[in-house]
Structure 1
Amino acid sequence: MILTVKPRSVAGVLREASAGLEGKALVSLAAAVPSSFIASLAPKAKVMRGMTNVNVEVGHGFTTLSAGPGADAEARAMAEEVFGRLGVVERVDEEYLDALTALSGSAPAFIAEIVDALALGGIAAGLPRELAYRAVLHAMLGTARSLLEKGWSPHQLRDMVLTPAGTTIRGVMVLQGNGLKRTLMESVLEATRRAREIREELSPGKL
């Protein structure tokens, strides 16, 4: 069973379903709800927690899974096989899941904002809207593949594009001058803080 409800709905759903979960693998994708709480409501299930993102829709999701109470090797393998059909799967410690909720779960929205901003810049420079978006999306897709497949660091790839007194360095100067990296870093940290706030808000009496 894959639990994909809002955090505040977890308790109600599990109270209704717990009788049928004995001996079964249970993967919760509910943000911020600890596996110990899930196991308290489904004590005979093989509990795991995970986080994925919207890119599973096109087979390029990034799913992280953490084994919780009762999760044996068979249950872990089953979960990895299921999510492996939807993209990349990695095992992680549960302590990382709040940050991964912010990064892996929220990153597609952050990246979409960046795509939109770059495309709007292209439109402002005179490009037709559709061409501007295609140019940005293929640049982003190619950049991601280059970093993954070549093993380059972001700095290495950036420096391969830069030329003395060229167009790219002028654009990079604007990005750095306006604090792009700091803004993106703070976005991830703020989303992580919110994930932790949700966990604190969901006391046993409220779940």
Structure 2
Amino acid sequence: MTERPLIAIDLDNTFADYTTASKDCLTQMGYDGYADAPDPSDYSFACSGWFKDENMFLPLHRRAVGLGLYLRERPYAGALDAAYDVARRHSVLFATSREPDETDGLRWLHAYGLDATPNWNLDLWRDTYPETFEWTIRDSCRRDGSGIRFCHIWDKTFLDADLTVEDNPHTLNRLMDKGLRVLVKRHAYNLPQCERAEQSGLGFAFDDWTQVPTLAKRLLGENAK
């Protein structure tokens, strides 16, 4: 079987709106003043309009997860259609580095009609079977390009994907340090990475998911149609 390019897509604040779901959970917990909070200027949400430090954010985030935070997220406009579009030509792997998520991620994907294969905990696989990890994941995805897959992995550089769609500035820097191609979902907290991707030739920034299929074609050397 011909190998297909592997595209890894992050979930929170890349494919789906984590920020708005967080506001909803904070309101349910009785915290006022977040409904109109701006797009956070720091990835930790320790910034103006949000939290004074990361120590305040993390406990509230964990409480929100217990209230179904991940299931409340909504795909960004155009994201579902774009995912189906790229999956026609590429192997698509939803890859999240969120707190351990045994069921919500897969349930969420299925609820939106993205019938992903069962969750792989790639962190556990890498730690338990390091001698097989490097080739098993990447090669199996590229050879069997049918469908959409889902995994949990902290360090996405290990996937060595042909293209990663991501918002996390730290992850983006690690990917670009390795020379890997990226599409950056633009937020106030990752503007330096947007600029770096475009200036380095390793990627593009985008605001609208309808842009993604064409940008992916350009980065992967295909003819945009």
Query: TM-score normalised to the size of structure 2?
Result: 0.26
Structure number with greater CO (CA < 8 Å, separation at least 6) is: 2
- Indicate the structure with greater helix content: 1
**Greater Rg by CA:** 1
Query: TM-score normalised to the size of structure 1?
Result: 0.28
